[in-house]
Amino acid sequence: MENLTCPAYNAAETLCRTYEEVMAQRIVDQVIIVDDASTDQTNRIARTLPHTLVCTHPENLGSGANQKTCYRLAREQGADIVIMVHPDCQYTPLLIPAMASLIGNGLYHRVLGSRILGNYALKGGMPVWKYVSNRFLTLVENLLIGAKLSEYHTGYRAFSRSLLERLPLAENSDDFVFDNQMLAQIAWLGYTIAEVSCPTKYFPEASSINFRRSVTYGFGCLGTALAFRLAKMGILHSRRFPPVRPT
């Protein structure tokens, strides 16, 4: 069973378009939308969509908390493959079959849709300052974590159920750095992370964070990578990076 999770916040203008493109791929069994206390019509629209489970947070808890709910519900619904995409039409759902195939065939447990591979980030309109920040953070993170990813900051991700069940997600932040902490945990467990080249579009309705929150996020990413390295060296003991048990 394949579930697609949408952590949504004020996505009324793009939610239906994203849903239609997702379902047009004909492989998603159920869509899970978690509305993080939107102030627009996101919740009302979500409840009109077929084959969709909708959960609403009574107050805005943050991107990380939203995803924690998404992944918990996906496991409860019996999903074998879980794909997460933001409902803002920034990432194309056309890649869903390819990402699901890599997991369903047992090649990988984790697949990222990378905006950097193929130079799609700048072509799609990513602001130059965000592109430069992305490349710098990714360089430092690769050095500290020991991976070779093209980026750590994409919002398009696919997982196997078995991997999600191993991750201590409750130990992660409720804010945007949750995504980064999740990748560090996957690397900690020794999983190979696959990437596929993903065209993206930037436009006014697409989700984004402002410069101040981007700076906070950047320092959070660097802190996560440093914590990973210190834990590997035995200097830091963290519940976010518990002793690894055999797969």
**What digits encode the pLDDT tens for the residues 76-87?**
999 999 999 999
Residue 30 has φ and ψ, to the nearest 5°, of: -150, 140
H or E element that contains 44: helix 42-46
As a whole number of angstroms, the distance between CA 198 and CA 178 comes to: 21
**What digits encode the pLDDT tens for the residues 153-186?**
999 999 999 999 999 999 999 999 999 999 999 9
Across all residues in the chain, what is the average pLDDT? 92
As a whole number of angstroms, the distance between CA 240 and CA 231 comes to: 10
Three-state SS at 96: helix
CB neighbours of residue 148 within 10 Å = 9
pTM of the complete model:
0.92
**What digits encode the pLDDT tens for the residues 121-146?**
787 778 888 899 999 999 999 999 99
| Band (203; pLDDT cuts 50, 70, 90) | low
Three-state SS at 144: helix
| Band (9; pLDDT cuts 50, 70, 90) | very high
Determine contact, residues 97/25, Cβ cutoff 8 Å.
yes
Domains of the chain, CATH where assigned: 2-232 (3.90.550.10)
